[in-house]
Amino acid sequence: MTDTQNTSMAAPGVRQSKAEAVNTAETRELYQARQQIYPKLAHGPFRLLKWVMMAVALGIYYFLPFVRWERGEGMPDQAVLVDFANSRFYFFFIEIWPNEIYYITGLLILASFGLFLATALLGRVWCGYACPQTVWTDLFIMVERFFEGDRNARMRLDKAKWSFDKAWRKGGKHAVWLIIAAATGGAWILYFHDAFDLLENFFSGQAALSSYLFAGILTFTTYTLAGTMREQVCIYMCPWPRIQGAMTDREALNVTYRFDRGEPRGRHKKGESWDERGDCIDCKQCVAVCPMGIDIRDGSQLECIQCALCIDACDDIMKKIERPTGLITYETDDNVDRYAAGEKPRYRFIRPRTLVYAGAFAIVALFMLGALITREELQLNAQRDRNPNYVQLSDGSVRNGYNLKIVNKAGEPRELDLTLEGGDPAIQVRVLGAAAETPMRLPVGADQTQDFILYLTLPADAIDSQREEFVFRVTDPVTGETATTRSVLVTGVNP
């Protein structure tokens, strides 16, 4: 059985497809079993754009872990690395400590506003071009097409009885799918360890159990989500189709069927008049190429990921029957109504919604940029002992204990000078493990937080108030960097 009829051609090469939309509002039943979708290969600029996007996205995903970035002695040289063991996150020139997790928060907020803005302007471009589900599904369908042929051949093969031919085509497809899935899971774990080391250990069986576990999990999810579940993920699992209703509006560019031009639709034979009828010849090519199994002519719908493949399919036909292209095109709902009313289209990309999204995006981006630029590589924190609050010594002098925390985010070890500013000059400083000299030298390792136990003693004859206020200051004599923190010395005297 074939999917196309060759009778009554509208133009040479124009085939009427029998494709029926699998996912339509009319035929939808709550407990209906899933119907297989056999997307046909489209040809055209959007298909090309999607191939390019796929190559770029997959290229970044698979090769980014191998990009090197020199950071200095003893530091990882992987450009992008989530180092859980040492609780660091590296992204090229950026290094983030666990207490700076707000950078990640900022990044997520940026991603959200960016997504909102893109959706308000161009509809679901994320879903159509960049979403991993779309990219990997596209890749898996490409493999399927390689082994089983295009739409009609695949439908025939699925209906055919089991034979050697069917077995090797199906087997080959699943084997390649599994290889891709394993490569996906394998690349994932490379972001969490040194890529080259891990690759070596992974294949010699010496990597950590968690590496194999996560590679396995990602292999499984890639195989099932992109191979077997496909559109089900977008329709039933993903929240974005539900959210997009609030993000897009009548002035956003969406993949749209121009009903003003297309209707009334109907079959057309070559030579027939185009008067009193629309340009849509009901060839259903738009349905045949749709990976979501919908009919775009039903209007915008939750299932549509706006991959624009129906635009390619329709334009192809329009050229052949010598009608203007763009019957299915990126257009706003308002403009389609305007066309129908005989008005000129108007585009309003600057409107309150997009301004708010762009503004919020810019503010968060500026804030993060500021935070990154002013990020300090030297931090000081002093915690005074509260138990005991102070210690009176036999000669009447008073001692306070402190826990001094010095954070060195630089890639090399430092020797820091500790000084006290303000407070009584008679205060004596003692740091456990450091020689008594002025100023006191404290060594701190590269990329480390180091604790020091510090005792300040105020001689009896210098005690004249309940508390002495002062500032701890550490200075790097080499770079001149400095960090301070305020603290007090409690004397225990009641004035």
Partner 1 sequence: MSDKNDIERDDHTGTETTGHEWDGIKELDTPLPRWWLYIFYATVVWAIVYMVFMPAIPGLPGMPGDGDHTRGLRNHSERVNVVAALEALEASREAGYAALEGASISEIENDPQLLQFVTAAGDAAFGDNCATCHGAGGQGFVGYPNLNDDVWLWGGSYDAIRETLLYGIRAEHDMTRFSQMPAYGRDELLTTAEIEAVADHVLSLSGEGESNPLGQQVYAQQCVTCHMEDGRGDRLQGAPNLTDREWLYGSSREQVINSIYRGPYGVMPAWEGRLDDRTIDALAAYVFLLGGGEAATAGPTGQ
Residue 408 burial by Cβ neighbours in a 10 Å radius (0-12, 13-18, 19+) = buried
Minimal distance in Å, beta carbon 31 to partner 1?
Answer: 5
Strands (E), 219-295: 254-257
Q: Choose the stretch contacting partner 1; rule: CB under 8 A; options: 63-71, 133-141, 323-331, 391-399.
A: 391-399
Residues 6+ apart with CB under 8 A from 452: 403, 404, 405, 406, 431, 432, 433, 434, 442
Residues 6 or more apart in contact with residue 238 via CB below 8 angstroms: 133
Question: Distance between CA 426 and CA 429 in Å, rounded?
Answer: 10
Q: Is 395 in the site for partner 1 (CB under 8 A)?
A: yes
Amino acid identity, position 13:
G
Per rule CB under 8 A, is residue 2 in the interface with partner 1?
no
Does 393 help bind partner 1 (rule: CB under 8 A)?
Answer: yes
Question: What is the C-alpha to C-alpha distance for residues 164 and 78, in angstroms, rounded to an integer?
Answer: 47
Q: How far is the CB of 315 from partner 1 (least distance, A)?
A: 38
Q: What angle do CA 341, 325, 322 make, to 5 degrees?
A: 110
Residues 35-94 that bind partner 1 (CB under 8 A): none
DSSP secondary structure letters along 208-241: -HHHHHHHHHHHHHHIIIIIIITHHIIIII-SHH
SS3 441: strand
Asked if 461 touches partner 1 (CB under 8 A), the answer is: no
Q: Which is nearer to partner 1, 2 or 387 (CB)?
A: 387
Binds partner 1 by CB under 8 A, chosen from 31, 93, 162, 164: 31
* Interface pattern 202-241 for partner 1 (x via CB under 8 A): ----------------------------------x-----
209 vs 432 by CB, closer to partner 1: 432
CA 291: distance to chain centroid? 23
3-state secondary structure of 7: coil
Separation of alpha carbons 83 and 87, rounded Å: 6
Q: Which of 7, 204, 394, 494 binds partner 1 (CB under 8 A)?
A: 394
* The only residue of 1, 33, 85, 246 in contact with partner 1, by rule CB under 8 A: 33
- Which listed range, 59-67, 197-205, 381-389, 474-482, lies at the site for partner 1 (CB under 8 A)? 381-389
β-strand partners of 408: 378, 448
Q: How many chain residues touch partner 1 (CB under 8 A)?
A: 21
- Which of 385, 412, 417, 481 is close enough to bind partner 1 by CB under 8 A? 385
Q: Which of 455, 462, 467, 484 binds partner 1 (CB under 8 A)?
A: 455
With respect to partner 1, which residue has the nearer C-beta, 46 or 402? 402
The separation between the first and the last C-alpha atoms of the chain, rounded to the nearest angstrom, is 102
Which one-letter amino acid corresponds to residue 369? L
Q: Does 436 bind partner 1 (CB under 8 A)?
A: no
Q: Which is nearer to partner 1, 163 or 403 (CB)?
A: 403
User: Is residue 388 involved in binding partner 1 (CB under 8 A)?
Assistant: yes
392 near partner 1 (CB under 8 A): yes
Distance CA 247, CA 240 (A): 10
Supply the minimum distance, in Å, between the C-beta of residue 278 and partner 1. 35
Based on CB atoms, which residue is closest to partner 1, 8 or 228?
A: 228
204 or 387: CB nearest partner 1: 387
Task: Say whether residue 405 binds partner 1 (CB under 8 A).
Answer: no
DSSP assignment letter at 434: S
State the DSSP H helix or E strand holding residue 288, giving kind and residue range, or none if neither: helix 285-289
The amino acid that residue 246 corresponds to is A
Q: Are strands 428-431 and 391-392 parallel, antiparallel or unpaired?
A: unpaired
**In the bound complex, what is the minimum distance in angstroms from residue 470's beta carbon to partner 1?**
19
Closest contact distance (angstroms) between CB of 426 and partner 1 is 18
Give the residue, chosen from 74, 245, 266, 396, that forms a contact with partner 1 under the rule CB under 8 A.
396
451 lines the binding site for partner 1 (CB under 8 A): yes
Sheet containing strand 94-96, edge to edge, reads: 80-83, 88-91, 94-96
Name the minimum Å distance from CB 477 to partner 1: 20
* HEC-encoded secondary structure of 374-390: CCCCEEEEEEECCCCCC
Residue 451 Cβ, how far from partner 1 at the closest point, in Å?
Answer: 7
Among 39, 128, 227, 401, binds partner 1 (CB under 8 A): 401
The reply to whether 494 sits near partner 1 by the rule CB under 8 A is no
Contact residues: partner 1, CB under 8 A: 31, 33, 236, 385-388, 391-396, 399, 401, 432-433, 450-451, 453, 455
